[in-house]
Amino acid sequence: MRIGKFFLAVFLIVSITSVKHYSQERKFGLGIMLGEPTGLSGKYLLGSGHAIDFGLAYSFAHPNKIFSLHGDFLFNLPDKIKSPYNFPVYYGFGARIHFGNKDGNTLGARGVIGIMWIPESLPVDTFIELAPVFNLFPETSLHLDFAIGGRYYFK
């Protein structure tokens, strides 16, 4: 749990000390996600309402307590929620790998849907997302990932 508190402290310090640009003017964001799994979250904006995200995390809920790696291609829908604040909805698809020991390794197809909040004066975003995962190997099963998090966007 100390690692999670460390990442949260670093994220908050960087967010508070950098207030010059909007997050969407920058292309690459890196931060943390909490939930299932918990770890690092990254996002690269491709333009035209598309992005690629990834996560490197640890699965506390999995019986074998293993690492998780996922990547998704995202479609952003910035005008779905009518509000004076910036709340884009996004959805996409990708893949997830659980690894760590030979009995718990899995490969699955992942869908994702989420919502972000992008403050106007900070180079950050916060998000909440739900991602059903259809495990394909070594056997088929259905899993559900859920995360809340935030990312700082670098120049």
Instruction: Fold for 2-154, please state it.
Output: Porin (2.40.160)
Q: For the chain, first and last CA: distance in Å?
A: 30
> Digits of tens for pLDDT over the chain (155 positions)?
455 555 445 444 444 444 333 444 689 999 999 999 999 999 999 988 999 999 999 988 777 778 999 999 999 987 777 666 789 999 999 999 988 776 778 899 999 999 999 998 899 999 999 999 999 988 899 999 999 999 999 98
Asked if 92 contacts 115 with a C-beta cutoff of 8 angstroms, the reply is: no
Strands (E), 17-123: 28-36, 38-47, 50-58, 67-77, 89-99, 106-117
Q: Which residue has the tokens 């394909």?
A: 136
Q: What are the Cα distances from residue 151, in Å, to 91, 99, 135?
A: 17, 25, 27
Identify the H or E element spanning 11: helix 2-17
For the chain, what's the residue count? Answer: 155
Q: Can you say whether residue 49 is alpha, beta or left, with left for phi > 0 and alpha for psi between -120 and 50 degrees? A: left
C-alpha distances (whole Å) from 78 to each of 8, 19, 117 are: 27, 22, 10
Q: Among candidates 43, 60, 149, which has minimal Cα distance to 98?
A: 60
Q: What global pTM score does this model have?
A: 0.78
38/54 Cα distance (integer angstroms): 12
Q: Is the dihedral of CA 75, 152, 16, 32 positive or negative?
A: positive
